Amino acid sequence: MILGKKVVVTGLGSISSLGRDTHGFWRSLIAGKSGISRLRGFSPQDFKTSVGAQIHDFNPEEYFPAVEIPLLDRYTQFALVAAREALEDSGLGQAEIRDGAVVIGTGCGGKETDERSYQALYKEKKRRLHPLTIPRGMPSSAASQVSMVCGVTGPVFALSSACASANHAVIQAAILIRSGLVEVAVAGGTDAPFTYGLLKAWEALRVLSQDTCRPFSSDRSGLVLGEGAGMVVLESEIHARRRSAHVYCELAGFGMTADAGHITDPSADGAARAMSVALTDAHMNPGEIDYINAHGTGTLANDVTETRAIRLALGNRAGAVAISSTKSMHGHALGASGALELIATILAIQHGIVPATMNFTAPGAGCDLDYTPNLPRTMKVQAALSNSFAFGGLNAVVAVRSC
């Protein structure tokens, strides 16, 4: 357990297939709107899957000066859009954020830049690449660009733990605040995986759905890739109260574990330990949890394993907790998913509405909990968990509660 300053959330920012900002994201979630549609920009005959949760008609020139765009991979553009919104939402001035931190997770980094480079070298037989190829495509580019736009001169770094990247980033930022190294931080995740090579790589894993994402359902057929970014502004409670900031909730605790088992086959024990550690760190017991935003990918392995993990961690309380997978609407945005789902969890507390697990048909074997099927639920949410479990057996769980 890490002792220190209490950490609160004061700003939210997002961009996803459900909306270009957090208001649009939340409105779509509670309406049960799907961001999953037919893939654009690719020939249908090239892929076995034909669906994705893309951000359609995104024009960088609407957000950035033309002179800056050559330095910004699509995943960095998303990070900047979400970070700007989160900072504006927090009400922090540049002087207040200057000594803070930026921690951003990504599962893929600048794949758009990588693939453009490979195409130029190997297909078009070019001998030279753009001089900004490295700073555009490096995994830390998004964190660096956010720090420059926001004027942050404190700790700034990127991390990558596949689909747990965003939760790990938020946790690391919270540790910086708890320890007293900084008072404020911008943290979250971003990814833009819709490139030809990356789609073919995911296709080879044989985990992509052919139609849509149906978490926990008997006829679930796999995950649907998504893209976007989610960012939160974290502050020490003392700092936030001093400036009379609007506080969404307390980031009360977190748990991080590794399965140390199989690279793709998840462990219920590892995931359960992460949830239990988060509860212990937050000084909460299972009876206090009202809602869990599940990792809920819609794959055969994840959903039954996560269900077992929730039962292991919450015991008799498991059946009474509302659970949902918002990936059923915004897809699996990889390194950004945890941040989008944390924002959904925070807004469930704020508004007293739990988003649904859409596309639910009938419960799958071993999936025997309350998954909030197809309709959002109005209920009081005092405390919640947001789960992220990644390939490699990397687990990161965040516990939040109302203030």
Strand pairing report for 383-390 and 228-236: unpaired
Could you tell me if 320 and 386 lie in one domain? yes
Task: Provide the pLDDT for residue 44.
Answer: 81
Q: State residue 4's pLDDT score.
A: 76
Give residue 3's pLDDT.
57
What pLDDT does residue 100 have? 98
Give the end of a domain, one of 220, 242, 264: 242
Please report the pLDDT score of residue 45 as a whole number: 84
200, two tokens: 């073919």
313: containing domain: 253-401
Out of 108, 168, 239, 295, pick the active-site residue: 295
Which of 108, 150, 163, 213 is catalytic? The answer is 163
Say if 211 falls within a structural domain. yes
- pLDDT given for residue 383 in this prediction: 98
**Which one of the listed residues 168, 239, 332, 367 is annotated catalytic?**
332
Is 248 within a domain?
Answer: no
Q: From the CB of residue 222, how many other CB atoms can be counted at a distance below 10 Å? A: 22
Identify whether residues 95 and 210 lie together within a single domain. yes
* CA distances in angstroms from 309 to 266, 278, 294, 369, 393, listed in the order given: 10, 13, 11, 12, 13
* 23 is a catalytic site residue: no
Number of domains in the chain: 2
68, part of any domain: yes
Facing residues of 325 across strands?
Answer: none
In a domain, 1, yes or no: no
What pLDDT, in 10s, does the model give residues 168-215?
A: 999 999 999 999 999 999 999 999 999 999 999 999 999 999 999 999
Low-confidence ranges of the chain (pLDDT < 50): 1
Do 267 and 141 belong to one domain?
Answer: no
Q: For residue 117, how many other CB atoms are within 10 A of its CB? A: 18
Q: Is the pTM of this model over 0.95?
A: yes
CATH of the domain at 70: 3.40.47.10
Give long-range contacts, CB 8 A cutoff, 24+ apart: 148-151. Answer: 149/80, 149/83, 149/84, 150/83, 150/87, 150/94, 150/97, 150/102, 150/186, 151/94, 151/97, 151/98
Which residues, including other chains, have CB under 8 Å from residue 300's CB and lie 6 or more apart? 220, 364
403 in active site? no
Whether 150 is catalytic:
no
